[in-house]
Amino acid sequence: MTSEFIGPFRKSSYSGGQGDCVEVAALSTGGRAVRDSKDPRGPHLHLPPDGWSAFLDGVKGGAFR
List pLDDT tens digits, range 12-54.
877 776 767 889 999 999 999 999 988 989 999 999 999 999 9
User: 6 pLDDT exceeds 70?
Assistant: yes
Q: How far is Cα 32 from Cα 29, in angstroms, rounded to an integer?
A: 8
Q: Are 28 and 6 in contact (CB under 8 A)?
A: yes
Q: What is the dihedral of CA 13, 20, 55, 60, to 10 degrees?
A: -50
pLDDT band at 10 (very low <50, low <70, confident <90, very high): very high
Q: How far is Cα 3 from Cα 29, in angstroms, rounded to an integer?
A: 6
pLDDT at 1: 59
pTM higher than the cut 0.75: yes
